[in-house]
Homo-oligomer: A and B are copies of this chain.
């Protein structure tokens, strides 16, 4: 039936900001919610079709100039508020980076360092993007939605800064690990405590 409540929520939510084509919906979600949400065409169009059948969205400007946009209806707004109200089910986490680091002993210290450095670089980029996004927000773009959008942008910034700080700490750990390995001769790297570790 309901091809995912989650997708419906995102679609109705986006349309609550302004009417859009399905295509623009995907673009908007990617560019604006990209840091914490994603939808593919394969979900958006079926979702729109279903919502239209349920009279929660309707097409506007049918064969007018360009193509028709989808607009949220009253029933749709009600449904959206309903969907937003039920508790956010925390999605099962699947962090491929952490999985690799967790089994870092198999992967090797150097590869781990690369991964951490890449993550750090991504976080830096994200941070500058978000900071400029916040600047834009001071402008106009989203009207009354702005304060709420700001809150999500702030979350992204905090997250990015946390990633950067973590990365630096992780790099230290990895270096310490390597040094310990060198000192310890051929013996495998011991944990991070200097302590008294005579080899063999």
Contact = CB atoms under 8 A, between A and B. Distances in A.
Contacts of A18: 197, 199
Interface string A77-92: 1001100110011111
Interface residues of A, number: 81
A6 B100 CA distance: 10
Contacts of A128: none
A134 B25 CA distance: 44
A158 B147 contact: no
The oligomer's copy count stands at 2
Interface of A: 6, 9-10, 13, 16, 18-19, 33-38, 60, 71, 77, 80-81, 84-85, 88-107, 111-112, 115-116, 138-140, 142-152, 154-155, 158-159, 161-163, 165-166, 169-170, 173-174, 177, 188-193, 195, 197, 199
30 contacts: A13-B103, A13-B106, A33-B98, A33-B99, A35-B93, A36-B94, A36-B95, A36-B99, A37-B93, A60-B199, A71-B199, A80-B106, A84-B106, A84-B107, A84-B111, A88-B97, A101-B151, A102-B145, A104-B148, A104-B151, A105-B144, A116-B151, A138-B192, A139-B192, A143-B193, A144-B191, A147-B189, A147-B192, A150-B173, A155-B163
